Amino acid sequence: MPGSTISSVEVEILADRFNPQLLVHVQCDDGTSGTGETWWGTYQPHALPGTPVLPIAVFIDSVLAPVVTGEPCAAPDDIESLWTRMHRATLQYGHEGIVSTAMSGIDLALWDLVGKRLGRPVTDLIGPSKHDRIPVYASLTWLGDANRVCDDAQRALDAGIRAVKLHEADVPLILEVRRRLGPAVSLMVDASARFDEEGALRAAAALAEADLVWFEEPVSPQTDHAALARVRERAPMPIAAGENEFSVAGLERLAASNAIDILQPEIVKFGGITPARRVSEFAERLGLPVYPHNYSLGPSLLANIHWGFSTPAVRWLEIPWLSEGGTFPCGMPMPELVDGCVTRPSAAGLGFTGPAAQHS
């Protein structure tokens, strides 16, 4: 198709002390453009805001951008080819970690670009819609204080959201929050692997009365599937994990390890929308619920929404719920919610809006 050749790939770092964002803008020679986003690395207490994302940004700039620039990108099949090109070109770096994260950012931008070019929402390009709406849960930050947790949870409930995930590992605090929120609120707990195996088992037993929808990443290290499987065997609630797998193969290994009841893939870590379709396939084959991990209000959240609508196994979506009404630096507003659910996207591409969407 004339004008469908990729002419530039640019990264944009939106610095923020706790929630930086790394956007990727891809443009074709006719001016058509797409915006993606990828993982920001990790919070480094002693680093300047924005610097933890630099290794990923540099990898995109110096290795991946030259691989895709000059190549055609007019249809989903082109994205598959470009993904394969990037995958082959990066073998000697090791495919997981910074490489798969960097590839994810370009992949999301390519899907946005092709969706806009074809005038169709990305979800339509992934496959037929499997849902009318998908419930969201408010994913609170680490707070360590029951009053602050209840205040933030109440704001989410006031916005019509019916489920709240705590990032806490203090059992009495969690039980106190459950008591104050009442039994009608769906409650999840993400320990972010703060426990060793013994501590995780003690916490799981003590949290039985909290009636949790799931207990997430109870044990450290997150990547020890055998330890997680031992916790799951004795825990009285469903166990969820998956955000720290950086490939479809890793997610499949986790799913096959008897360690989880719920898979939580992070689309901007394991390679983007292109490989997400393979995650949908194996999860459906295994009858495994897929509740995507997401800690962004930006193209990354939108990618999960578009993927979610084409995937029967996706039955919850994670919305970061920053304390005291905090926002993400890209300025994207919360998606519109109906009865605590997101509705099927209708805008072409990913539908990214906000100040940073005006780039290029």
Return the number of the residue (135 or 331) whose C-beta is nearest Mg ion: 135
The one segment of 74-82, 112-120, 183-191, 198-206 that binds Mg ion by CB under 5 A: 183-191
- Provide the minimum distance between the beta carbon of 39 and Mg ion in the complex, in angstroms, as a whole number: 13
Looking only at residues 317 through 356 of this chain, which bind Mg ion when binding is defined by CB under 5 A?
none
Q: Which is nearer to Mg ion, 166 or 357 (CB)?
A: 166
Q: Tell me: does residue 245 bind Mg ion (CB under 5 A).
A: no
Give the Cβ contact number of residue 233 at 10 Å: 11
Could you tell me which stretch among 66-74, 84-92, 182-190, 312-320 binds Mg ion (CB under 5 A)? 182-190
CB-CB neighbours of 231 under 10 Å: 21
Does residue 190 belong to the site contacting Mg ion (CB under 5 A)? yes
Other beta carbons less than 10 A from residue 60's beta carbon: 25
277 C-beta neighbours (distance < 10 Å), count:
16
Determine the Cα–Cα distance for residues 265 and 204; give it in Å rounded to an integer.
22
> Quick one: 72 or 97, whose CB is closer to Mg ion?
97
DSSP state letters, 208-277:
GGG--S-EES-BSSTT-HHHHHHHHHH-SS-EEE-TT--SHHHHHHHHTTT--SEE--BTTTTT-HHHHH
Q: Return the residues of window 294-313 that contact Mg ion according to CB under 5 A.
A: none
Of 242 and 298, which CB lies nearer to Mg ion in the complex structure?
A: 242
Closest to 291 measured CA to CA, from 183, 216, 208, 184: 216
The interface mask with Mg ion, positions 72-111, x = CB under 5 A, is ----------------------------------------
Q: For residue 34, which phi and psi values (nearest 5 degrees)? A: -140, 150
For 124-160, letters b (16+ CB in 10 Å) and e give: bbbeeebbeebbbbbbbbebeebeebbebbebbbeee
Reading the block at residue 67, the tokens are: 């691989």
Candidate ranges 6-14, 98-106, 189-197, 275-283; the one touching Mg ion (CB under 5 A): 189-197
Residue 139 forms beta bridges with which residues? 165, 320
> Smallest distance from the beta carbon of 62 to Mg ion, in angstroms?
31
CB of 292 to Mg ion, least distance (A): 11
Helices 146-158 & 171-181 angle (0-180, nearest 10): 40
Q: Which residue is nearest to Mg ion (CB)?
A: 190
Residue 168 or 190 with smaller CB distance to Mg ion: 190
CB of 175 to Mg ion, least distance (A): 20
Give the nearest distance from C-beta 146 to Mg ion in angstroms: 20
**Number of residues lying near Mg ion (CB under 5 A):** 1
Report angle CA 173, 292, 308 to the nearest 5 degrees: 135
Is 266 among the residues that bind Mg ion (CB under 5 A)? no
For Mg ion, the closer of residues 37 and 190 by Cβ is 190
Between 107 and 190, CB nearer to Mg ion: 190
Q: Under the rule (CB under 5 A), what is the footprint of Mg ion?
A: 190
